[in-house]
Chain A
Amino acid sequence: MLALIVFLPLIAFIAILLGAPARKTAIYSAGANLVLGIYAAVMRDCSCLDFSVQVLSKPEINLAFSTDGMSMVLVLLSVIVTLAAVLSGKAPAGRETLYYGSSLLISAGALGAFATTDLFFFYAFHELALIPTFLMIGILGRGERKAIAWKITIYLGLGSIILLVGLVWLANLAGTMHIPSMVENLSGENALDSGTQKSIAALLIVGFGTLVSLFPFHSWAAPAYASAPAPVAMLHAGVLKKFGLYGLLRIAVPMVPEGMQVWLTPVLVLLLANILWVGYVTVSQRRLDLLGNSSVMHMGYIFLAIAALVAFPENTLAKPAAILLMFAHGISIALLFGLADSIERKTGTLDLEELGGLAKAAPKLAFLFGIAGMASIGLPGLANFAGEVLVFLSAFQGYDPTQGLGSVQIACIISIWGVVISAVYMLRAYRNIFQGPAIPRTESAEDLTFMDRIPAVLLTVVLFAVGLYPNLLLNLLR
């Protein structure tokens, strides 16, 4: 079942290569995958979902899929965003195969990485998803696409290699590649000595951190998302980027807890830089490309939850909070990128100074973008708020006020200022694009068509559903 979910996009990709109509195949397979994903979420405790085939006997590598609550949520996120991405993409003429094929490959890679229980495939699926990302930016990107494609390739390649060193080291010490067994082998009495933990944790933080654009490894993100075609930006920012956070939660925190604790303070400083530094950089941007940096900024909050979990291992809130926020952020940033693409198609620019009064000509676009923006700045009723509030609460869980503020609490308090910063840039963007008098450029812009609205409405409904009743998602994590 899970294997089907992972391989369906791959099968569709091959079908497209063999000449099936690209857009239709992509949409149908993504739609089927959404249905399968929801079915799997409903049946989440059934062992019928699991799948395992031995690929290599020594070292033992299994193509194995299984989920727990955490990966199930991310699988759901992937199938939802994939459908929205292939629906909202508009391939340039003659490039349909590359365009939709790449989107499907990214989806398959992300799904595989989230669903597998084998360290080898965990890494391999992620790399599989990166290649089409590079290709799409390099071939179909906007602006200086070649240079940007190189930049992201080198950045993410380097991050992946550092990560690989850490993972191979861990796998060697654990003597297996089955992730749950690795956790078992490396805990309790068999826990690694602190020196090793420290080194491995450093490798994992830098490796995973680069993939999630942790400060100061963040400068690939903004230009890459600005250049990438809409479905790639949606899939990468919405889904694939969560791989790094997922890896930290799945591998780094349970396997090298002491090592993570050593790096707690540096990570706290870096995540604050993510929120404040990158946040202020976003404020000074004058194009809607600021969405890329806004996504970098919000990663800081998820890191905060991870830090809370590291600092206080009995923390029950941090992990669900992180997952919830990952899900919410994925949906909202995908919606924002999709709508930003619409804005550019309708008006021909993303420069905030050249836009204005678009709400007059395109009220539906304004409405949906307003919801997406409000979600991204953490308005209650939309999914991100629940995630953010739980993250803040998790930072204060188990905190004894008589001891003075700990580093996590201080970081939490400072990071709440980010809520103000994100409101500043998002409202400014909304004000400049949609409000004010209509100008010639926006007067004649078309509103979203019915087909344009389907993916946006899909994502909006998810944002509302989870935002109005977060237990919908949190129940999966039980």
Chain B
Amino acid sequence: MNSAWILLFLPLVVAAANQLVLRKHSLVPYLSTASAAASLVISILLLGKEGNAGFDWASIGDFSLRIGIQLDGLSTGMMLVVTGIGTLVHVFSLAYMKDDEACSRYFTGLSLFMFSMTGIVLADNFIMTFIFWELVGVSSYLLIGHWYQKPSAGDAAKKAFLCNRVGDFGFMVGILLLWSLTGSLAFEDMREGMIRFQDANPALFTGLLSTAVLCIFCGAVGKSAQLPLHVWLPDAMEGPTPVSALIHAATMVAAGVYMLFRLQVSLGAELFEGLFASHVIAWIGATTSLAAALMATQQSDIKKILAYSTLSQLGYMVMAVGLVHGEAGMFHLFTHAWFKALLFLGSGAIIYACHHEQDIWKMGGLLKKMPITAITFLIGTAALIAVPFTSGFFSKELILHAAKESNMTLFIIAAAVAVLTPFYMTRLVVIALLGKSRSDHSDHAKEVGPLMWVPLALLAVLAVIAGWLSGIAPAQPAHAGEFHLNALFFISLGALLIGSSVAFILYRGKDRDPVCIALLRELFYVDRFYDNFLVPVFQNTVAAILHFFDELIINGLLVGGLSRGAASIGQVCRAIQSGKLQYYAFAVGLGVILVVYFTVFY
């Protein structure tokens, strides 16, 4: 158990030491990297351990909020992913960020992120999850905004944080509802409370559970960038590329899926069968997956393509959770983490070699210029498009299988995504890696140094073999790593062949995009709708109107009215009190007459 506490707090201590003691010392990157590596060692040692420990964090009477660690297969497996990719990304960053003047701030941010992500994974109750949920949000904010002097980076960081906050609104409400349903915040005790509640109120049970789960799902929608809060993830590519690999592809964005699965496991999966909330989750996942895959086909920024691909794969995982086959989703999370981190780091190496050129139409022929990077990138692509016997193939097969068993429409959507994925990835590979160079930048590209390609190579190995490693994966689906020559296999193989061959034929030797679909290029106009309608109207206009009324009614009419009222009463009194003696005399005379009149005649 003690090593688990070290695992949790080591990155925090390192981040604090970096920020407070070392500051801009050249040791900072190495200290962070060393701590990540130490975390990886501890995670490996913790594999298979179980246990629970914690302390009271905020206690009032007999109520307390705990910081607790839950060790089980799910959390230790997830820790392996987080620290494994974390370590490789740290190593990669040593080379990638070495010329950055704010290198130490970057590594401090990474350590802070490792701390927060570890917290989410190890949390044994929902409040702790929420705490670290917010903390990964802020470390992501810091890292996206690393190059804060670029206006777009600052805006993207802000957007990411706000989208997450909108999701967290629902998450918090969901936690409160779940707390009132189960009477507990700890994952361990939730099931018991839920069953008790179910026995007491069978009629109300499903409705209330659905509401609570949907509210909690809002949090996952924000963090895992599902529709309609997906807009922040592509923008988050403004951050340094290793960050995109670690946070915005492999770990943090998967936290939503992890949390949903944790909820499902804690409450018991059977409660979720046929629940309205499960349908909503599955449909949102499927829709996101399809929409993002469509958007990816028309992007020209290498990182944006990968970002939309991440969205699409996250949609897969969320759909699997919604279909109450969370373990399939978690397995896909596990394999996806390795190959998507590989793809992002590979794109980082490409971008680095091409002097920060990100437009694939200005690349080309990189396979010859930087063979190691290109080959690892190809391996990552193979895993992503589910070439048989790569890791992605096994996990995707499980999800397709789950969809096929539960819901035919969802299966068709998932299969369509399975066609689109090879399409956009082949497009990327054909344009960027094959053919001939299209600009000076890619002309002068050289192979990157070993600090960069070693992590790539390691990830490439894992991208291939992860499908067989279900023993250390966060969740072990029943048929992981198995292979059957059934209909499903041929469907996915067909999808792969169709998608990649169409893209190959379409884009081979082209210098500009032969296809131009405005709807997809404009991302279904969702971003525009947000930027030009939703935010201006529902935020700024409402704010402006309320401000106007605040000034007009509260300040102008109520407060100003009172003060003007007092002033005008004063004006009237002032007119009476003219200071002219004769008016007073007249008033006295009038008064006397009135007094006489009333005393005599009444």
Contact = CB atoms under 8 A, between A and B. Distances in A.
**Direct touch of chains A and B (CB < 8 A):** yes
Interface of A: 151, 154-155, 216, 218-219, 277-278, 280-285, 316-317, 320-321, 357, 359-360, 374, 378-381, 385-386, 389-390, 392-393, 395-397, 399-402, 409, 412-413, 416-417, 419-420, 423-424, 427-428, 431, 434-438, 469-471, 474, 477
A380 B61 CA distance: 22
Nearest to A389: B127
B60 to A, nearest CB: 5
A321 B181 CA distance: 22
Given A424-B539, A435-B154, A474 B169 contact: no
Contacts of A438: 149
Interface residues of B, number: 55
A342 B540 CA distance: 28
A423 to B, nearest CB: 5
B145 A435 contact: yes
Given A381-B135, A397-B63, 13 more contacts: A219-B559, A277-B546, A283-B540, A316-B63, A379-B134, A380-B134, A396-B177, A400-B180, A413-B176, A424-B539, A436-B148, A437-B151, A474-B59
B177 to A, nearest CB: 7
A389 B172 CA distance: 9
Contact of B179 (A154, A396, A470, A471): A396
Interface in B143-182: 145, 148-151, 153-155, 157-158, 161-162, 165-166, 168-169, 172-173, 176-177, 179-181
A180 to B, nearest CB: 21
B149 A435 contact: yes
A284 B544 contact: yes
B135 A316 contact: no
Contacts of A469: 57
Contact of B169 (A417, A431, A435, A437): A417
A7 B6 CA distance: 47
A416 B174 CA distance: 11
Interface string B337-365: 00000000000000000000000000000
B162 A423 contact: yes
Contact of A474 (B60, B131, B204): B60
Contacts of B180: 396, 399-401
10 contacts: A216-B558, A219-B559, A379-B134, A392-B172, A392-B176, A396-B176, A401-B181, A474-B58, A474-B59, A474-B60
Contacts of A389: 65, 127, 130
A386 B550 contact: no
B132 interface: yes
Interface in B228-268: none
Interface in B506-532: none
B162 A436 contact: no
B590 interface: no
B554 interface: yes
A284 B540 contact: yes
Which of A317, A400, A474 neighbours the largest number of chain B CB atoms within 10 Å of its CB? A474
Contact of A379 (B138, B157, B542, B543): B138
Nearest to B151: A436
Nearest to A360: B149
Given A380-B135, A401-B177, A427-B158, A281 B543 contact: yes
Nearest to A425: B543
A420 B165 contact: yes
B208 interface: yes
A316 B558 contact: no
